[in-house]
Amino acid sequence: MTSNSKDIRVHIGAGGIYLKGYENLDVPIDEFYFAKSRPDIVRENITTIENYYKDPYYNNYYERFKLKLTGVKKLPKPKGEPSKNLKRRKMVIDQIAYANNLPYKPNSVSEILAVQVFEHFGPSEAKQVLKHWWSLLRVGGKLIIDVPDVIETAHLLVLAETEEEKGWAEKLIHGTRNNEFAYHKAGYWPKKLERMLQEAGFTSIKVNNQINHQYPAFSMEAIKK
Ligand SMILES: C[S@@+](CC[C@H](N)C(=O)[O-])C[C@H]1O[C@@H](n2cnc3c(N)ncnc32)[C@H](O)[C@@H]1O
């Protein structure tokens, strides 16, 4: 289920989220499937950017740990009833692709979306990746980057009381470390990401909190002019 060649929209680091109208890409981890051969998993994972984490309470650690959130940005309450048996979604993608070497021609892509992916690059790689993405986007093309908010997460770590709460907050900072691609190598807050996007040549940069997370995170969009 890919978009037509005139309007290429790319979803990088798709993981267990299969977005309608996008090319869903990821790196080859231990268990992954191609959309063409597993329409059953596509049906389970398919969603839209407006309803990115479609399960109510997906990742709702706030609810789970009843953390005292004084001083931490309040998150919107998830819609729907909490799901008791959330299982990890299988990864189903259209093709394998590494963020720093995407298989598209320069000036050909309308949109690049990276949700909870950019923090997986170290500082110099992150700069190179932004240059690469800028070169692939057509003029007027949009980049959306969604990352954990490291400052808000640090607040959570300070507020955490039990060992379990502390362990969760620490994992939000460093990543799950379940595989070699699951390490956080940089932390972001809105001003820092905005500065990097400006330096990479993007304009019309603004916060776009379209994705409903259950932990501290933010999204920014930027345009190639
Ligand atoms: C935290 S998961 C986010 C998955 C999904 N976007 C979500 O929000 O549920 C990070 C994703 O980035 C992918 N990733 C890590 N390093 C990458 C790289 N160098 N190129 C492309 N994808 C990468 C991982 O395989 C993983 O699927």
Q: Which residue lies with its CA nearest to atom 4 of ligand 1?
A: 15
Q: Looking at residue 78, what is its pLDDT? A: 53
Q: Region 37-45: what's the mean pLDDT?
A: 96
- Is pLDDT above 90 for 124? yes
- Is pLDDT above 80 for 77? no
- Is pLDDT above 50 for 97? yes
Closest residue by Cα to residue 171 from 59, 77, 63: 59
- Is pLDDT above 80 for 14? yes
How distant, in Å, are the alpha carbons of 25, 27, 50, 91, 180 from that of 98?
8, 6, 25, 15, 13
Closest residue by Cα to residue 13 from 105, 85, 119: 119
- Is pLDDT above 90 for 225? yes
List pLDDT tens digits, range 163-185.
888 888 899 999 999 999 999 99
Say what percent of the chain tops pLDDT 90: 67
Q: Looking at residue 3, what is its pLDDT? A: 46
Q: Which two tokens stand for residue 185?
A: 């190598």
Q: Looking at residue 135, what is its pLDDT? A: 98
Q: Looking at residue 2, what is its pLDDT? A: 46
- Mean pLDDT across the chain: 87
pLDDT-derived band at 86 (thresholds 50, 70, 90) equals: low
Q: Looking at residue 18, what is its pLDDT? A: 97
Q: Which residue lies with its CA nearest to atom 1 of ligand 1?
A: 116
Does the model's pTM come out above 0.75?
Answer: yes
Q: Region 200-224: what's the mean pLDDT?
A: 91
Instruction: For residues 106 and 222, give the distance between their C-alpha atoms in angstroms, rounded to a whole number.
Output: 17
* HSE-CB of 26 using CA atoms within 13 angstroms: 25
Q: Looking at residue 46, what is its pLDDT? A: 96
Mutate to test the pocket of ligand 1, among 153, 181, 211, 218 (most ligand atoms within 8 A of CB): 181
Task: Answer with the residue of higher pLDDT: 87 or 179.
Answer: 179
Q: Domain 8-224, what fold?
A: Rossmann fold (3.40.50)
Q: Region 81-108: what's the mean pLDDT?
A: 86
Closest residue by Cα to residue 26 from 116, 101, 93, 88: 93
Residue 177 backbone class (left: φ over 0; alpha: ψ -120 to 50; beta: rest): left
CB-defined site of ligand 1, < 6 Å: 12-17, 26-27, 29, 98-99, 115-117, 120, 181
Are 211 and 113 spatial neighbours (Cβ–Cβ below 8 Å)?
no
